[in-house]
Each structure stands twice: as structure tokens, then as C-alpha cells.
């Protein structure tokens, strides 16, 4: 498909999209908050086409999933061949050679000593659920530490760790008992009144000096769940010292460190896993999203000695489905064939270009990120740093109308997470549309 993009043929949502939106309202659960009325028909590479024939430049990669680009030919070929051979024969009861092959690859991809073992599931939330059960089972301890602003999924266990938007938790209590939320680096409400860079390890010291001393017995904590770079919470990159401090805190008290790499993993940040940027080795890694280029797959990877649970302790009918495993193997081949280095290069280019336009836009408060996990924080005023949520939403909507797909993250940020295959010419197109949309919102153009 070599059609040009972006190409807006009819103002979205077009007539076909409008018809379908009515039906969606009638038949689909309204619980997911859609960004804008994009009714997708097909996608290829970094181009997404809607049902009315509009073509968009996709800077969302289907929420950081299509890391190899939509419908990468090698992934499609692997999926097609596998679909003809075996669609399903549950890993919950039978052995599956593709799971073994993929687990072997994940063993080498995830930092830390081999051998490791893998539990396969279908999604990010399920990979976190498995980790919650595993750390409790392994340590025989009840408590879990998670971070304010974290996102780990929406099933009841994962939701109990999630702390990025209260609407996600509202109406669902009581959640899992024993979860304690603590501040993440750059929380802007430091218990010690510190700001960056003095706050680098303050959040970690606070856990040890205050939380463990007054409220939470350290020897009863099973695990700390952390996103090496917070995703839904705003693409927040913590200082190295923060994650390294957590790693040593966990070691001191026999606590498992769980890295939720569901969004930041699989090459997204310019390295296979984001924790590699920080020189940290976690006990468990949770993967999903980009692992199979769009097919449902979750993986919880842990050292052999940690994943020592008996048959019957945990299983999934569909988890590690043969088609998803094939897609993941093809994805890893593509990622390791130079794509991660390319993503690092494109990420630096995009980050620098966004930083270059920082001063010419009053609404840009901060530009941050690693690799192709980049966010622009929108503020009403650079001095007060008051969040510009409304304006953020208008910029995202305007960009959509002009053919650029962006997403929000955090309370007032816009995320840029295109496929890792993105080329400089497409980054330039996206920058031009973003700049134009931002300028119009700043001028009050409706």
C-alpha cells in the first residue's frame, strides 16, 4: 500500500464512521475513554486508514503496540503460515514448542542471570496479575508497593497497583488488600520538599526511613512494582539513582523488584528493555503490548528459582497461543535486525526537534522521553507550570483533524510513540502538523 498520507478526504468522522459510531454507542461497552472518533479500517507501516478513506500518520502505534509498524510483512507472513498449521491447543494442558522457543529468546532478552522461566498470558494486565501471584507465592509475604501515577492494568489485581487516574478505580473498591502506593520520582509533592536533582533518591529513602519505620514492616513486603518509565502516568523518566536505589532497597530487605515493561519494553525506548538505560536488573519483567506486534500476548519473566510454583498454581487457556508466539518470534527478529538502533536515532531526532520548538510555544512546559517514548507536557504558563489539560485535548483533536494521530498521557501531556520503523520524513511531517495545531490552539483558533 503506497498511498500518500496524511490525506483527509472528508472531515472526520466521515459519513461511514458516523453510522458506525451510532452502532458502537448501541452495542459496545462505553467504559473505554476514546481519544477521538477514529474508525479504523486498515493500517500499514505508520499509516492508518479510516472507513471513509482518510489516511493518517500514526504517532500512537496503536498505543505503543505496533512497534514493527502496522502489518509488518515478516510478522504477517509468520502469522499466516502459523494459522494454517495450528491455531490453538491450550498451553494450560498441553505442551507447545513455540512457547519454548519464545521463552528461550526472552531469557536472553531480559537482563539478569539465566536460566529464567516465562509464564505466558494474553495482555499486560494479565502479565502483571501473574507477577502479583508469583511474588506472593515465592516470598510468602502479603504486601505490595506500587507508585502514585503508575499504570499496571485494569483487572482487579493489576488495578490495585494502578494509581494514575481515580476514575479507573472509582466504584470498584475494595481492591486487593496490602497494596501501598508511594511517590514516584518527579512527583512534584516531595515529602522532603525537594526538587530535581536533589530529589533523585529521596523517594527511595522515604520508603526506608519513614514508611518502613512507621507503617509497613519491610520484612512483610513481597514486591515493589515499578514502570522504569511511567507510561500512562505521563511518560515520566526517573533519574538513574531512583531505580538503582529501589534495586538496592529491594536487595537489602529480600523484596522482589518487578519491572513493568509492558509499554516501555520491546525496543520502545531505544533499548530492548527500558531498565537497561538505568543499569538495573529486576527479579521479574512483565511484557505485553509490542511483544507480538499487535497479537495478544503477555509474558511474565522470572528467574528459575522465583518461578517455582507447582502445577495448578496458575494457567491460561489462550496465553502463549501459537499464532501470538510466532508473531512474537518474528517481532524479535525484526527488532534485533537493527530496528532498535533506528528507533534510538529517530527518538533523539524527534526529542531534539521538539525541544527546539519549546521556547516558541507558550503552552509547552517540558519535553521529555527516551527513544520513541516521548511526551510534551502542556502548561498554561511556563512559570507556574499550571497544567493545560483543555488545551492539550484541543491540540490532540486538531492534529487528528489534520491527519496526525496522537494520544494524551498523564494529566496534561501529549505522547509521541510511533512505530519504531518511523522515518525522518514522517517525523518531519508530524512535527509540522503538531506545530500548526499547537499554534492554532495558542491563538484561540477553534
Residues at the interface with ligand PLP (CB under 6 A):
123-125, 128, 151-153, 227, 231-232, 260, 262-263, 288
Taking the complex as a whole, the smallest distance from the CB of residue 136 to ligand PLP amounts, in Å, to 18
**Distance, CA of 250 to CA of 244 (rounded, Å):** 10
Taking the complex as a whole, the smallest distance from the CB of residue 420 to ligand PLP amounts, in Å, to 17
Nearer to ligand PLP, 343 or 409 (CB): 409
Say if residues 429 and 57 touch (Cβ distance below 8 Å). Answer: yes
Taking the complex as a whole, the smallest distance from the CB of residue 53 to ligand PLP amounts, in Å, to 29
**Distance, CA of 436 to CA of 337 (rounded, Å):** 35
Nearer to ligand PLP, 138 or 152 (CB): 152
Residue whose C-beta lies closest to ligand PLP: 124
Nearer to ligand PLP, 158 or 250 (CB): 158
Longest Cα pair distance anywhere in the chain, in angstroms?
A: 63
Nearer to ligand PLP, 18 or 154 (CB): 154
Nearer to ligand PLP, 262 or 351 (CB): 262
Taking the complex as a whole, the smallest distance from the CB of residue 411 to ligand PLP amounts, in Å, to 16
Contacts of 235 (CB under 8 A, 6+ apart): 229, 368, 369, 373, 374, 375, 409, 410, 413, 415
Residue 31: name the closest of 199, 157, 154 by CA.
154
Taking the complex as a whole, the smallest distance from the CB of residue 124 to ligand PLP amounts, in Å, to 2
Taking the complex as a whole, the smallest distance from the CB of residue 231 to ligand PLP amounts, in Å, to 4
Nearer to ligand PLP, 51 or 299 (CB): 299
Nearer to ligand PLP, 14 or 410 (CB): 410
Taking the complex as a whole, the smallest distance from the CB of residue 49 to ligand PLP amounts, in Å, to 24
Taking the complex as a whole, the smallest distance from the CB of residue 57 to ligand PLP amounts, in Å, to 22
Residue 403: name the closest of 434, 445, 363 by CA.
434
Nearer to ligand PLP, 291 or 335 (CB): 291
Amino acid at each position: 500500500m503506497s498511498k500518500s498520507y496524511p490525506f483527509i478526504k472528508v472531515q472526520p468522522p466521515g459519513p461511514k464512521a458516523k453510522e458506525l459510531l451510532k452502532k458502537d454507542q448501541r452495542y459496545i461497552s462505553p467504559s473505554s475513554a476514546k481519544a477521538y472518533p477514529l474508525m479504523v479500517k486498515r493500517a500499514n507501516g505508520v499509516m492508518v486508514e479510516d472507513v471513509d478513506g482518510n489516511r493518517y500518520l500514526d504517532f500512537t502505534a496503536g498505543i505503543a503496540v505496533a512497534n514493527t509498524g502496522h502489518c509488518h510483512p515478516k510478522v504477517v507472513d509468520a502469522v499466516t503460515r502459523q494459522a494454517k498449521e495450528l491455531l490453538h491447543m491450550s498451553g494450560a494442558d498441553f505442551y507447545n514448542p513455540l512457547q519454548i522457543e519464545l521463552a528461550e529468546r526472552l531469557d536472553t532478552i531480559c537482563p539478569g542471570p539465566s536460566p529464567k522461566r516465562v509464564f505466558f498470558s494474553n495482555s499486560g494486565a494479565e502479565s502483571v496479575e501473574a507477577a502479583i501471584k508469583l511474588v506472593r507465592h515465592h516470598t510468602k509475604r502479603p504486601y505490595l508497593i506500587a507508585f502514585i501515577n503508575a499504570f499496571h492494568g485494569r483487572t482487579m489485581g493489576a488495578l490495585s497497583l494502578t494509581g494514575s487516574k481515580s476514575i479507573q478505580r472509582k466504584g470498584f473498591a475494595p481492591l486487593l488488600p496490602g497494596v501501598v502506593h508511594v511517590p514516584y520520582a518527579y512527583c512534584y509533592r516531595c515529602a522532603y520538599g525537594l526538587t530535581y536533582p536533589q530529589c533523585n533518591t529521596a523517594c527511595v529513602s522515604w520508603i526506608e526511613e519513614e514508611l518502613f519505620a512507621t507503617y509497613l514492616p519491610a520484612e512483610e513486603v513481597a514486591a515493589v512494582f515499578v514502570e522504569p518509565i511511567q507510561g500512562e502516568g505521563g511518560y515520566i523518566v526517573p533519574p538513574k539513582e531512583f531505580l538503582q536505589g529501589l534495586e538496592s532497597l529491594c536487595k537489602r530487605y529480600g523484596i522482589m523488584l518487578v519491572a513493568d515493561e509492558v509499554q516501555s519494553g520491546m525496543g520502545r525506548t531505544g533499548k530492548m528493555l527500558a531498565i537497561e538505560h538505568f543499569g538495573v536488573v529486576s527479579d521479574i519483567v512483565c511484557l505485553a503490548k509490542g511483544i507480538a506486534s499487535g497479537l495478544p500476548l503477555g509474558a511474565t519473566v522470572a528467574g528459575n528459582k522465583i518461578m517455582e510454583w507447582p502445577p495448578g498454581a496458575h494457567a491460561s487457556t489462550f496465553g502463549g497461543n501459537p499464532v501470538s508466539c510466532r508473531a512474537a518470534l518474528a517481532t524479535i527478529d525484526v527488532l534485533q535486525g537493527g530496528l532498535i538502533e533506528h528507533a534510538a536515532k529517530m527518538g533523539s531526532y524527534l526529542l531534539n526537534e521538539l525541544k527546539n520548538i519549546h521556547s516558541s510555544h507558550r503552552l509547552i512546559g517540558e519535553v521529555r522521553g527516551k527513544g520513541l517514548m516521548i511526551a510534551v507536557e502542556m502548561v498554561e504558563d511556563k512559570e507556574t507550570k499550571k497544567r493545560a489539560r483543555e488545551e492539550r485535548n484541543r491540540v490532540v483533536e486538531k492534529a487528528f483533524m489534520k491527519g496526525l494521530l496522537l494520544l494524551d498521557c498523564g494529566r496534561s501531556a501529549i505522547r509521541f510513540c510511533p512505530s519504531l520503523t518511523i522515518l525522518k520524513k514522517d517525523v518531519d511531517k508530524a512535527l509540522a502538523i503538531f506545530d500548526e495545531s499547537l499554534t492554532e490552539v495558542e491563538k484561540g483558533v477553534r
